[in-house]
């Protein structure tokens, strides 16, 4: 099989990162990778903090956080007054769940494409409150119209207190039509939380246009921010009801300050996040997005070909703009969470390649990401070495 050519590399992009050159890092979607320039920006802030901690925390820190919040919210098309910085998308979900006031008889509705840790958070809140949870099955090949109809028929007005839907799913790299889903839920009086953990930086987004009651997204994956940088965006009717997970000195300020201020938290990652956006824009935002999406598609094709997967059987649930792709593994391989983790570890140890291995819908899937530091040769090398590894018990 002849595979389409990969995109032209962005000159010098690999040198902007401190990744181990002996490892093919093909899993940017897991924890991201922070450019050296952003690492240095954060270190300068840490140096400032340690030179006089009392001054750092008590003289203008809340205002600096607010400035950062406004910068990031503008990038995302979100209302700065309704945006709070949080540690990650899962933290934002937990804040929403414990602010809802769930009771026995209520339910939280999800899909079977949801992120595992978010599912754990939902289950815990439902156990605590006596509410229930239910997941809608959405086939990987479902069209946008079919997804909207699945949601429409799955909602139970009066009982469904929250719909949680991913904008871009972690296990399947599926792009959901969230604006249309939100509209359907609003017609039935059901609030919606959009988990957009992978969206900031990878995809253009206008959070205001999505129209969700709650929207969470990580900046530390595809927007080059230090880890622990995410946002929770809340629509006006809900802001006064939001309560932080931990009460601290900004409790009286209300949302978003009461959620952001966590006493002696290290805020330097948040304050460095604009440097990540600067690095992204310096490379060329559209250029980076086009490169990453094309390289991920190339990687999917060469690895899929090596595993004997016909081109027509390679899923494309995210569309051409998504920089994550999945490849079906042979039947019986990595079909459970434990065996998927074990295979990921074997690939890392024996092939010096970091990938994601997912167990979803009774099958194992290899998820490949692409970022500006990756090269076509890394996917080609994985394609050559992976089949023999899978053939060995």
Give per-residue pLDDT as tens, 134-156. 999 999 999 999 999 999 999 99
Do residue 185 and residue 111 come from a single domain?
yes
Please report the pLDDT score of residue 1 as a whole number. Answer: 44
Do residue 263 and residue 369 come from a single domain?
no
Mean pLDDT across 295-313: 95
Do residue 296 and residue 262 come from a single domain?
no
Do residue 223 and residue 145 come from a single domain?
yes
Q: What is the mean pLDDT of the chain?
A: 96
Residues paired with 214 in a beta bridge: 193, 234
CATH classification of the domain holding 207: 3.40.640.10
387 belongs to a structural domain? yes
257 belongs to a structural domain? yes
Tell me if the pTM is above 0.75: yes
Do residue 141 and residue 253 come from a single domain?
yes
What beta strand segments (E) does the chain contain? 24-25, 83-86, 107-111, 132-136, 160-166, 192-195, 214-218, 230-234, 324-328, 353-354, 356-360, 363-369
Least confident of 92-106, 242-256, 270-284: 242-256
Q: Which of 243, 278, 313 is where one domain is finished?
A: 278
CATH classification of the domain holding 338: 3.90.1150.10
8 belongs to a structural domain? no
pLDDT at 237 over 50: yes
Please report the pLDDT score of residue 244 as a whole number. Answer: 95
Q: Which of 278, 294, 313 is where one domain is finished?
A: 278
Give the Cα separation of 356 and 353 in Å (integer). Answer: 10
Place 316 in a pLDDT band, splitting at 50, 70 and 90. Answer: confident
Range of the domain at 240: 38-278
Please report the pLDDT score of residue 3 as a whole number. Answer: 60
pLDDT at 207 over 90: yes
Do residue 63 and residue 22 come from a single domain?
no
5 belongs to a structural domain? no
6 belongs to a structural domain? no
Q: Which of 278, 305, 323 is where one domain is finished?
A: 278
Please report the pLDDT score of residue 212 as a whole number. Answer: 98
E strand or H helix that includes residue 111:
strand 107-111
Do residue 263 and residue 292 come from a single domain?
no
Instruction: Give, to the nearest 10 degrees, the angle between helix 178-187 and helix 144-154.
Output: 30
pLDDT in tens, 321-357: 999 999 999 999 999 999 999 999 999 999 999 999 9
pLDDT in tens, 178-187: 999 999 999 9
């Amino acid at each position: 099989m002849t595979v389409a050519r990969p995109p032209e590399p962005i000159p010098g992009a690999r040198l902007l990162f401190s990744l181990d050159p002996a490892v093919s890092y093909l899993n940017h979607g897991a924890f991201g990778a922070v450019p050296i320039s952003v690492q240095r920006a954060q270190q300068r802030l840490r140096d400032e903090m340690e030179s006089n901690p009392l001054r750092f925390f008590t003289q203008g820190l809340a205002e600096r956080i607010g400035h950062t919040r406004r910068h990031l919210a503008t990038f995302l098309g979100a209302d700065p007054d309704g945006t709070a910085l949080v540690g990650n998308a899962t933290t934002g979900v937990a804040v929403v769940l414990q602010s809802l006031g769930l009771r026995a008889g209520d339910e939280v509705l999800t899909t079977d494409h949801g992120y595992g840790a978010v599912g754990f958070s939902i289950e815990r809140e439902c156990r605590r409150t006596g509410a229930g949870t239910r997941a809608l099955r959405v086939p990987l090949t479902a069209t946008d119209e079919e997804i909207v109809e699945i949601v429409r028929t799955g909602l139970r007005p009066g009982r469904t207190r929250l719909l949680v839907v991913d904008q871009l799913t972690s296990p399947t790299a599926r792009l959901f039509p969230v604006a249309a889903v939100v509209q359907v839920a609003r017609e039935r009086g059901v609030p919606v939380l959009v988990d957009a953990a992978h969206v900031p930086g990878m995809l253009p987004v206008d959070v205001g246009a999505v129209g969700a009651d709650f929207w969470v997204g990580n900046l530390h994956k595809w927007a080059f921010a230090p880890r622990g940088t995410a946002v929770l965006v809340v629509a006006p009717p809900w802001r006064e009801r939001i309560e932080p997970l931990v009460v601290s000195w900004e409790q009286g300020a209300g949302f978003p300050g009461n959620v952001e201020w966590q006493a002696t938290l290290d805020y330097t990652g948040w304050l460095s996040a604009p440097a990540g956006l600067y690095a992204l824009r310096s490379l060329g935002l559209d250029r980076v997005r086009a490169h990453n999406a094309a390289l991920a598609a190339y990687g999917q094709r060469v690895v899929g070909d090596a595993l004997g997967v016909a081109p027509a059987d390679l899923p494309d649930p995210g569309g051409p703009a998504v920089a994550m792709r999945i490849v079906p593994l042979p039947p019986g391989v990595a079909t459970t969470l434990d065996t998927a983790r074990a295979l990921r570890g074997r690939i890392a140890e024996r092939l010096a390649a970091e990938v994601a291995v997912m167990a979803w819908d009774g099958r194992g899937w290899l998820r490949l990401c692409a970022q500006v530091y990756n090269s076509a040769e890394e996917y080609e090398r994985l394609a050559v070495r992976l089949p023999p590894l899978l053939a060995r018990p």
